[in-house]
Structure 1
């Protein structure tokens, strides 16, 4: 048994943790779905009421935050502004790790490849971002939410695009 498994089992049975872990992954995936469906309220709803996003370019341990956005109202407004910049987006969530830190808390890391189509001075542009979400989760009344998301831009590629 690994140290992580032992840690999980001190909070949940294997069966319980499988269900809780899936519920947490659903929160991460719902954020991406709402981004692609252009639903800023839905994106903000996956966060705890006082949840926050902290943006970093590169490793958070080596860089200062670019910006911090706190609370569902500010998150909704920010997501709406971001969505308005793009014609369409596709967020593909990849591998993820989630570790329980208590019965109502967990931490996780998810890799995401986000593609954004936009027009700049009449030119079609494809903006691709390799992102990592370093999340802290909290369960409130039996439902999981993101308490804090450190959103890391690992790399960005911007180029002309043709249909």
Structure 2
């Protein structure tokens, strides 16, 4: 939440972090796995959860840009994807920040002649770090809240 006494640098940091989050979704939908991976630190960690962290362990954990790029490349198996980024909260503390972002991720593909749409309600819990004057993801926890899969008529 913004307050009137927030310094202009904090607004700039929050905007830069939001642009980072948006770039991740944009690059995902453009199938630019290397570009997505470049948004992360060299030693970044991504953990995927089917439910709230702490109540379940990660279903998948990826470490470093090479593993991330390989995993991001799997989006090429879909005909189309669209990631809608929703509300987000960010707390900046110097060159580090944390945040939570909501996303509706749409995946469309054809299987045995039937077009299928899968919509995932996702929350990202992120740790960010500023390196070389740019913000990067240092850690990302992808939490799948629900999934809806159905035939698509479009």
TM-score (ref. length: structure 2): 0.95
**CA shift digits 1:82-114 (9 cap, x unpaired):** x122000000000000001x3110000000001
Counterpart position of 1:123: 114
Matched length = 153
Secondary structure, aligned partner of 2:61 = strand
State how 1:9-158 maps to structure 2 within 5 Å: 14-81=7-74, 83-100=75-92, 102-158=93-149
Secondary structure, aligned partner of 2:20 = helix
Measure, in 2, the Cα distance between the counterparts of 1:125 and 1:65: 26
Measure, in 1, the Cα distance between the counterparts of 2:52 and 2:112: 33
Secondary structure, aligned partner of 1:132 = strand
Higher helix share: 1
Compute the displacement of 1:67 (Å): 0.8
Gaps of 5+ in 1: none
Q: Where in structure 1 do 4 or more consecutive aligned residues deviate above 3 Å?
A: none
Measure, in 1, the Cα distance between the counterparts of 2:10 and 2:37: 25
Measure, in 2, the Cα distance between the counterparts of 1:62 and 1:46: 29
